[in-house]
Homo-oligomer: A and B are copies of this chain.
């Protein structure tokens, strides 16, 4: 079994909570109030903006062979941000002055700290996990969306074939890294899979519960 398959298999309970999260299922079923969806939209816009730093740091530590595709991925995030702004306009959502909820802020900090200080394989694992989670969650949502839903272009961005191909490529690179890695390194990488999935799950929870900070209103 490939490394990525073994991660998904060994943590299938955690992964199922993520992919079948109420935020996902209710959005698929047309049962997601605009306020909640738009809260997610605003927070995720911020996440992508700040998360771009992660990719710059990862590229900086990457072998030469990966630098062109990672530079492309960085440019693609710029287009993703354009798509966010376009959809926000269509949905009447204001993207100015968004403040990150604790989970949003924390997830970005985790990614940055990992890209800086953890092993390269650990950082790459976090990257694949986050993109894989997005692809799989939005693939669940996609079939339930009306053809003319203004949410559709955003959902298709992550559910579609191009992103699927990208996530598959990331997975094959991760498998190649894992094959070269020592047992201790693979264990560290698995820890980052689990933590990244936990942060993704917490992000869905935050979308439902609201982007507050513990002990503070608002």
Contacts and interface: CB of A to CB of B under 8 A. Distances in A.
A172 to B, nearest CB: 17
A204 to B, nearest CB: 7
Interface centre among A53, A55, A78 (most CB of B within 10 A): A53
Given A198-B213, A202-B215, A106 B102 contact: yes
Interface residues of A, number: 57
B75 A195 contact: no
Contacts of A105: 106, 110, 195
Nearest to A112: B113
B202 A102 contact: yes
Contacts of A112: 60, 109, 113, 116-117
Interface in A192-218: 195, 198, 201-202, 204-206, 209, 213-216
Contact of A216 (B55, B61, B198): B198
B74 A71 contact: yes
Nearest to A181: B182
B184 A213 contact: no
Given A53-B117, A205-B215, 4 more contacts: A52-B71, A106-B109, A109-B112, A109-B114
